[in-house]
Chains A and B, each alone.
Chain A
Amino acid sequence: MDPGLRRDDNGVAAGRAIAMIYVIEQVLNGAQFGVMLFLMAAGLTLIFGIMNVINLAHGSLYMVGAYVAAAVFGATGSFLIGLAAALAAAIVVGIALEVTLFRTLYARDHLDQVLATFGLILFFNEIVRILFGATALYMRVPDFLNGRVEILPGAPYPTYRLAIIAVGLAVALLLYLLIARTRIGMLIRAGASNRVMLGALGVNVTLLYTAVFALGAALAALAGVMAGPIFTVESGMGESVLISAFVVIVIGGIGSIRGAFVAALLVGIVDATGRAYLRPLLALFTSRAAADSAGPALASMLIYILMAAVLFVRPQGLFPPRGR
């Protein structure tokens, strides 16, 4: 046998294995971004679907979570204490916002809600600058998650990112069980279809709304905490993820947790693989320079193209809530 041929075969096989590992890594990166988007989108879709409120300040709760976790983790050295503090802070801020502002916004039109909650974004961005300074906070990966796991032989993947996927999937499952199987879930769904009737049957809808808002705030903060070591903890960090989360709830069907979950993973994976493969893909058909300039631009537009395509086929989103 020609030894050169064998070497070539081995080279091709190794090349294929590396390509496959790269694909898996990109899908995992997409899933990790997707579950974080899901945590944001779940709260957003509940609040929008049930209370009919557009909350642009949902990204601010994500930011509050990241800042409080970074500060407390930095001060105590314990990631878990930082996480608990972030969730508690977001719940307190969420309840305070619901009681003082959102209760007056429920009956107002969407434009008023957009203006008021856009004002909140400016307020929160400024307040974190005052409290924590204009420079970004550094948040390191906690020691117990700092490492790599070999997902395939020769393919290590950061433990922290895998943990994010695991936590996101666990929260998605818990949220599904809460909404589909518990009495409070029934009340949340009933409130989405007819809150006046729900009140007339003895349910304190005001309290229910506050609880849902607090839950949404906690989920956003959890996303913010998990994002801390990956992205920069800085003023205004919530806005870009908020826009993606809105794309997710529109694709998934507004008010649907299941839709938010599927759409979040879809958006995450399309975004990650688009960023990885669009440029080399374009290079097959165009000049390298054109691919270099068009690829990244097109990749950042990909989730909006996806949204347009989904809405074209299913104007109510992939999983519109049933029977509303």
Chain B
Amino acid sequence: MLEVTGLDAGYGDGRVLFGVDLAVGAGEVVTLLGRNGMGKTTTLSSVMGIVRAQAGTIRLDGAPIQHLPPYRIARLGLGLVPEGRQIFPNLSVHENLVATASGAGRWTIDSVLGLFPALRERLASLGGLLSGGEQQMLAIGRALMTNPRLLLLDEATEGLAPRIRAEIWRVLASLKESGQAILVVDKNIAPLLRLADRHYILERGRTVWSGSSAELAAAPDLQQRYLGV
């Protein structure tokens, strides 16, 4: 579905990515791993068109998308849950969910609230007044309301309490079960090994390793070298 080849990208004159390769197939859960500052967020931003690709190709279903503006890429079926949630603080929870919703698909306000019952009681609250965990649920719900074919999550559980993290992992597992393709960035290796099919490790803007969960679990030296685990 998504295929990134030889991606170079950066900010202004500074380059952050130097030939990133990765692919996500339909219904697959894939992770992007690496220490801070290795280019994970820039990779997701480039895929979404927020950061312009300087070289390489980003293809969705075989068609190049790296020249498209972010809104066109989103409409092709990519749903972003960004680092730091970035929910709209001046909109209510309900408004956050419906403002950018796409009409066609299985995700509706009811199905999203079924996935995150905690949001049901906060529907009228302003997004900015929610706790970090509720904001992350809202950010995931907001992305699902666009009915994406591929969900991109940047730092899926960063800064969240253990109970909320468990909730997010439960939701992602149920999404996977329903056939949702997911590209996820996070630093918690253990739940990612259980959840994901395949992994990519980024080091200084390059893809230095890729493989299955079984291969990553069997390579503690790899985890120590690139992920500091």
Q: Which residues of A contact B (CB under 8 A)?
A: 183, 186-187, 189-190, 192-194, 196-206, 321-324
Contacts and interface: CB of A to CB of B under 8 A. Distances in A.
A199 B126 contact: no
A267 B143 CA distance: 43
Contacts of B143: 201
Contacts of B96: 190
Nearest to B92: A186
Contact of B71 (A186, A190, A203): A203
A254 B126 CA distance: 19
A186 B95 contact: yes
Contact of A190 (B75, B99, B126, B146): B99
15 contacts: A187-B99, A190-B88, A190-B90, A190-B91, A190-B100, A193-B91, A194-B86, A196-B50, A197-B80, A199-B70, A200-B70, A200-B82, A202-B74, A323-B90, A323-B129
Nearest to A206: B69
Q: Is the interface of A mostly helix, strand, loop or mixed?
A: helix
A270 B100 CA distance: 42
B50 A189 contact: no
Given A196-B50, A201-B71, A322-B128, 15 more contacts: A183-B99, A186-B95, A186-B99, A190-B95, A190-B100, A192-B90, A197-B86, A198-B88, A200-B71, A201-B79, A201-B80, A202-B75, A202-B100, A202-B102, A323-B89
Contacts of A200: 48-50, 70-71, 74, 80, 82
B71 A193 contact: no
B71 A197 contact: no
Most chain A Cβ neighbours within 10 Å, of B80, B88, B98: B88
Nearest to B75: A202
Interface residues of B, number: 29
B126 A322 contact: yes
Interface in B56-108: 69-71, 74-75, 79-80, 82, 86, 88-91, 95-96, 98-100, 102
Contact of A189 (B70, B74, B90): B90
Contact of B88 (A183, A197, A199): A197
Contact of B146 (A196, A202, A206): A202
Contacts of A183: 98-99
B187 to A, nearest CB: 22
Contacts of A186: 91, 95, 98-99
Contacts of B49: 200
Most chain B Cβ neighbours within 10 Å, of A187, A196, A198, A199: A199
A204 B71 contact: yes
Nearest to B48: A200
B71 A202 contact: yes
A252 to B, nearest CB: 16
B127 interface: yes
A192 to B, nearest CB: 7
Nearest to B74: A202
Contacts of B70: 196, 199-200
B206 interface: no
